[in-house]
Amino acid sequence: MNAAGLRDQEFETFYRQQSAALTRWLTARGACPADAADAAQEALTQVWLRWPHITSHRSYLYRTAGREMARIWQARQDVRFRADTRPSTVEAGGMPTRLDEGLVRQQLLTLPARQRAVLAGYYDGYRDAELAPVLGMAAATIRSDRRHARAGLRALTALLEQDPHGLMLRRAYADMRDGDPRPTGARLLIARSWSRSALHLADPRLSPALPPLTDYELTQRRATSPLAGISPDAWSTVASRTGLLTVITDADGRVLWRAGDRKVLRRGEEDGHGDGACLAEHTVGTSGVSLTLAVGHPVVVSGPEHYCPAQHDLVCAGAPLRHPADGQLLGTICISAPWRAAHPDMLKLIDQTATRIRQQLKTCPAPPGSPPPTAPHRSNRYREPAR
């Protein structure tokens, strides 16, 4: 067989292995089925054209597909912005009557991946029967996930748009401190975290319940962490570009590495969030790190949603770091910004950074003393139900 024939055979095998998986990956990141299929086909075409010159075909395929999906979204957003600059009206149920794609893309990441895909497909006009085979779910499950996703987005939209100065959040926090387990104005996700935090920290103004690791203990944790082989460029560039405090923790919530401007690093130490500190819920209450560990998906914690009053002037966005082989929770990555200066794309930024880290983990050798990958499991006892 000549070289051209061998290339055709190799690509055909690669296409069969990757086409459906790539489409599902794009759909789970918020693309509608049609856009996901288009982006996947364009990416596979680019791989075919450059096949002899690519070292890692799968990595190149997914990078290209991600860029193509971003191009499709940007082109559609530009067209819609030029065609209709009128503000979208809101129905009695609280959801926009016209798809505000920019808002949805920013907020979809606050939902579990399955709800994300269901909601995106719904607003792109696909029926449940069409989505079911693509997502591998029953139509009834799709309807249930869509109901929970819409409820979650309504709550988040109300907080971000109707309460820009945090008056509702401050009132909800005060009601929580007065003993109300479900204060008006607080997201269900936050209210549950506050309740769990109160079991361990009766007074949120107190210092963290656990002392930080000693230098020796921190060195040992870093050396045996599966995250030890990650290149600093994969995550510290977030801090260098933005100046924001960027933190990586292990699955216990212990701070392993930090980056950021000198001022924000000093602020973190003053808040008890220095190297080796424990940022789990039972130690510091609700925060970007602790909530990410509890629910297992990307989250934003804004101002008074933090359990500790010292952090009410911050917005934190966190994302879980999972082992690419078995999905085991290895830790979190979190960025913090002043509440008034927070950017709506913080969640998108941290989720993209977590994705880069997961890609690097595929090629990183396990450090000495770290446990081998295991079968997929639920990694945190505080995991929230999908709502």
Strand-by-strand arrangement of the 329-338 sheet: 255-259, 245-250, 329-338, 314-322, 299-302
Confidence bin at 11 (pLDDT 50/70/90) = confident
> Hey, what are 31's tokens?
């693309």
Query: pLDDT-derived band of residue 307, with 50, 70 and 90 as boundaries?
Result: very high
Provide the pLDDT for residue 108: 60
Q: Where is pLDDT greater, at 25 or 81?
A: 25
Contact between 297 and 320 (Cβ < 8 Å)? yes
3-state secondary structure of 110: coil
Q: What's the pLDDT tens digit per position in 145-192?
A: 888 877 776 666 555 555 555 677 888 898 898 888 888 878 888 999
More confident of the two residues 380 and 358: 358
> Is 252:282 a contact under the CB 8 Å cutoff?
no
pLDDT at 183: 87
**13 and 139 housed in the same domain:** no
- Strands 329-338, 245-250: pairing is antiparallel
Residue 181 domain-assigned? no
Has residue 175 been placed in a domain?
Answer: no
Q: Residue 291 pLDDT more than 90?
A: yes
Angle at 338 between CA 334 and CA 341, to 5 degrees: 110
- Is residue 297 within 8 Å of 112, Cβ to Cβ? yes
Same structural domain, 245 and 275: yes
Which DSSP helix (H) or strand (E) runs through 66? Answer: helix 57-83
Q: Are 285 and 193 in the same domain? A: yes
**Claim to verify: residue 200 and residue 278 sit in the same structural domain:** yes
How many angstroms separate the CA atoms of 380 and 293, rounded? 7
Mean pLDDT of the chain: 78
pLDDT at 120 over 90: no
Same domain, yes or no, for 279 and 320? yes
In a domain, 197, yes or no: yes
What pLDDT, on a 0 to 100 scale, did the predictor assign at position 352?
85
d(CA 255, CA 277): 5
241 lies in some domain: yes
pLDDT tens-digit series, residues 229-274: 887 777 777 666 666 789 999 999 999 999 888 888 888 888 888 9
Residue 174 lies in a domain: no
Whether residue 55 is found in the same domain as residue 112: no
Residue 190 has which token pair? 């936050």
Give the number of other CB atoms < 10 A from CB of residue 138: 11
Domain region containing 241: 187-361
Q: What is residue 162's predicted lDDT score, i.e. its pLDDT?
A: 55
Q: Residue 300: what are its φ and ψ, rounded to 5°?
A: -125, 135
In this structure, is residue 37 part of a structural domain? yes
Q: What is the pLDDT of residue 290?
A: 94
The rounded percent of the chain whose pLDDT value lies above 90 is 18
The one-letter amino acid at 164: P
Query: In terms of Cα–Cα distance, which of 288, 280, 357, 287 is closest to 322?
Result: 357
The pLDDT value given to residue 84: 43
